[in-house]
Amino acid sequence: MVRDFFNSKPARDWPVFGAPVPDAFTIMMFPSPAVLSNVRNTEVWQHEVLQDAIGFVSHAPVAEVERYTWIPEPAAPYGADAPIVFFPIYRWAGTSVAQFREHYVKVHSKIGKRLPGVIWYESFLNKQSTDEWPVFDAPQPDAFALMKFASPAAMADLRNCAEWVEAAQDDIGFVSHAHVIQTERVTWLAAPVARSAFRG
C-alpha cells in the first residue's frame, strides 16, 4: 500500500521562520520486516528515490508505526469535499512512551470514535519514540491520527461539540500539542485487504 496525503495549506513563505510544516505525508506498507530493512539497498532507492529528491525534498523524517483502525473507511463513497485531516501528536513532558500508548489506545481513541461527523479514524503509533527527556533534537511525533469527516460542515462544527471539549480536557497530562493538517489524498497502491475495526 502506498498513499500520499498532501497538505492542503502548506507554508508559502521562504525561508520559513518557525517549525517546518510537512508538505505531504506518505504511508507505505511492506510485506515483511525483511523487505522494509532492505529498502535502502535497492536500485530503486539508490538510483531513483535519492536522485529524484535532489532539488525537490529537503528532508523526510521516517517513522515505523503500529497501525490501529478505530473506524474503518466506509466503502460507500462520500462527496469529493469530505475533508481528511492528519494530526501529528506529541506526548506531554514526563509522560513515558508506555503511558502514552496505553492511554491513547484505552482512553483517548474512544473519545475520538465518538466525535460527530467522523467517518474514518486511524492512528499510527510511532514505534521509535524514546523515553529520553529532555530531547536534544527535533521532537518526533509519538503518534499520527488520521480522520475523515462526512463534510466540511461536520469538520467546522467539531469545536462546538461536547466530545471535542472532552478530548481537549483529556489531553492535559497526556498530549502536549498536536498539529492539525487538512490534506488531499492520492492512493498510488491500494491496500491488499480492507481494514476492520480494532477490538481491544
pLDDT band at 81 (very low <50, low <70, confident <90, very high): confident
Q: Does position 27 have pLDDT exceeding 70, yes or no?
A: yes
Using one digit for the tens of pLDDT, what is the confidence trace for 31-77?
999 999 999 999 999 999 999 999 999 888 889 999 999 999 988 77
Q: Does position 111 have pLDDT exceeding 70, yes or no?
A: yes
Domains detected in the chain: 2-189 (3.30.70.100)
pLDDT band at 135 (very low <50, low <70, confident <90, very high): low
The mean predicted confidence, pLDDT, of the chain is 90
* Nearest to 36, CA basis, from 5, 6, 63: 63
Q: Does position 3 have pLDDT exceeding 70, yes or no?
A: yes
User: How big is the chain by its Cα radius of gyration, in Å?
Assistant: 18
Percent of the chain whose predicted confidence (pLDDT) is above 70: 94
Helix (H, G, I), strand (E, B) or coil at 100: helix
* Interatomic CA distance for residues 113 and 120, integer angstroms: 9
Chain length of the chain: 200
Q: Does position 161 have pLDDT exceeding 80, yes or no?
A: yes
Q: Does position 191 have pLDDT exceeding 90, yes or no?
A: no
DSSP string, 71-91: EPPPSS---TT--EEEEEEEE
Average pLDDT on 93-106 reads: 94
- pTM value? 0.89
pLDDT at residue 16 in the model:
65
Q: Does position 79 have pLDDT exceeding 80, yes or no?
A: no
Average pLDDT on 12-29 reads: 79
**Cell, residue 39:** 529498502
> Buried b vs exposed e over 117-144: b needs ≥16 C-beta within 10 Å?
bbbbbbbbbbeebeeeeeeeeeeebbbb
pLDDT at residue 9 in the model:
80
